[in-house]
Chains A and B, each alone.
Chain A
């Protein structure tokens, strides 16, 4: 409840977008 962003999977989307998607870059 205290971390709705993590529950939503938002954190994962944010981290990937921040770091750049490695897989996409390799393609």
Chain B
């Protein structure tokens, strides 16, 4: 049976059946590495992030990179036409991806991206939201929870004031955004399970 890699951070879902598992993995890793580096560069620009301990910077990035990438690349999921653009530029319909073995994660990603895009956030609001996603004091392995918590609170306050200023008649937007945080956690968990399954196979 053919193998597919239905992650849009891949250049294409097709996997060359002649390549070894290690080669497939290395090629995949090569395609998502620039996006991960972008997240790190983004994190470095969050005021206060570089003042956290090196250990906590790494822990936050390890735990949160996938969630930041989901927000950053939400526009790759075309809800109306039910398709996904892969990093190689090619679009694939949800039905085609289903036949390649995509499951609940893809459906959940669509639900999430649709709701996020419907909020109509500006680029600045989206960036601040990504900073809030990344700087979460309840990630595992954080050694200085108080420092991360203090930075998280500052970022949440900044996000609230930006949203309130930009959308004075839509007070629910801020609440809706905060409610996206547990949704992202859940996507992250589903994604980790799929990665494990991929590595095992």
A residues near B, CB below 8 A? 1, 3-11, 13-15, 17-18
Contact = CB atoms under 8 A, between A and B. Distances in A.
A17 B41 contact: yes
Given A8-B195, A9-B29, A13-B33, A18 B63 contact: no
Contact of B65 (A1, A3, A5, A15): A5
Given A9-B29, A13-B37, A18 B192 contact: no
A11 B62 contact: yes
Contacts of B33: 13
Contacts of B61: 14, 18
B192 A4 contact: yes
B117 interface: no
Nearest to B65: A10
Contact of A6 (B44, B57, B62, B191): B62
Chain A CB within 10 Å — which of B61, B63, B191, B199 has the most?
A: B61
- The bracket for how many chain B residues form the interface is 10 to 19
B36 A18 contact: no
Contacts, number: 43
A13 B199 CA distance: 18
B65 A18 contact: no
28 contacts: A1-B192, A3-B62, A4-B191, A4-B192, A4-B195, A4-B196, A5-B63, A5-B65, A7-B195, A7-B196, A7-B199, A8-B29, A8-B195, A10-B62, A11-B62, A13-B33, A13-B36, A13-B37, A14-B58, A14-B62, A14-B65, A15-B58, A17-B37, A17-B41, A18-B44, A18-B57, A18-B58, A18-B61
B148 to A, nearest CB: 16
B24 to A, nearest CB: 13
B199 A14 contact: no
Contacts of A15: 58
Interface in B26-41: 29, 33, 36-37, 40-41
B114 to A, nearest CB: 26
A8 to B, nearest CB: 7
B54 interface: yes
